[in-house]
Amino acid sequence: MEEEREEYLLLSGIQHFAFCPRQWALAYIDGVWEENFLTAQGRLLHEKADDPWFNELRKDRIISRSMPVRSDRLRIQGVADIVELTSDDNGVSVPGKKGTWLLRPVEYKRGKPKSEDCDKLQLCAQAMCLEEMLRAEIASGEIFYGQTRRRIEVSFSETLRASVLRIVEKMHEMFTKAEIPIAKREKSCRACSLIDTCQPGLNIRTGKVSVYIERMLAEDDSDKQE
């Protein structure tokens, strides 16, 4: 059973992969991660939302925090920041809770809404996991942004769902091959916590960065011995 679980990728990586496949590969394949001011803000925001022992009851709604989610079809697993459960006769059964419920995932993000779909893709993947786990249908969810202090609604369209499937397939393929994409310098690189490790200006093509660094150090030692 443990061997099977190792094949499951972290759902949180979908947002990273959509933003930059190389960033995802460095973090999830090469095991490299560094924190900067922006990632620290995001971590603290999630810590406020993520309390796995806390369920808040509001009239006919339950606010469930840090709910584990998993999809055997997509082979991904992770944690949903918040899942709002609303009592409804047309809802589904939820383990440990009486009655039937409509589900609505809510993701917490630092900053403000993005023009890209990376955050929406992560939220949609959470919904797809919940649908599979609980045999539910989830039409939409919400993303709360810390900078604007507002939520935006995300519709889980067929187009968005298809994008999730495509990205997850690419993630599994890259993970299996242990492939690190070529470094490309973009405007977004300046805000990336991995810019010093990534070194987009060096044009490293494929393979683990750790292997590249080891090779460079070996060449340096060789030059010193000569």
Residues 143-200: pLDDT tens digits? 999 889 999 999 999 999 999 999 999 999 999 998 888 767 666 655 555 545 565 5
Q: Which of 3, 63, 5, 9 is nearest to 175 (CA)?
A: 9
17 contacts 178 by C-beta, under 8 angstroms: no
pLDDT value for 30: 79
195 belongs to a structural domain: no
181 contacts 23 by C-beta, under 8 angstroms: no
The span from the CA of 219 to the CA of 107, in Å, is 46
pLDDT at 116 over 70: yes
Total domains, the chain: 1
90 belongs to a structural domain: yes
Question: What pTM did the predictor assign?
Answer: 0.76
Amino acid at 26: L
200 belongs to a structural domain: no
pLDDT value for 166: 98
Place of tokens 């808040």: 56
CATH (domain of 63) = 3.90.320
141 belongs to a structural domain: yes
pLDDT value for 52: 45
Place of tokens 């786990």: 133
Cβ burial of 103 (10 Å; 0-12, 13-18, 19+) is buried
State both tokens at 180.
């690190």
The span from the CA of 175 to the CA of 35, in Å, is 23
- What percent of the chain has pLDDT above 70? 66
168 contacts 175 by C-beta, under 8 angstroms: no
Average pLDDT, the chain: 79
pLDDT value for 10: 93
Instruction: Give me the domain span that covers residue 146.
Output: 2-179
214 belongs to a structural domain: no
State the pLDDT confidence band at 36, using cuts at 50, 70 and 90. Answer: very low
57 belongs to a structural domain: yes
Number of neighbours of residue 154 by Cβ within 10 angstroms:
22
**Pairing between β-strand 140-145 and β-strand 150-155 as defined by DSSP bridges:** antiparallel
Number of neighbours of residue 162 by Cβ within 10 angstroms:
10
pLDDT value for 206: 47
Give the dihedral sign, CA 160/121/134/142.
Answer: negative
pLDDT value for 40: 39
State the pLDDT confidence band at 57, using cuts at 50, 70 and 90. Answer: low
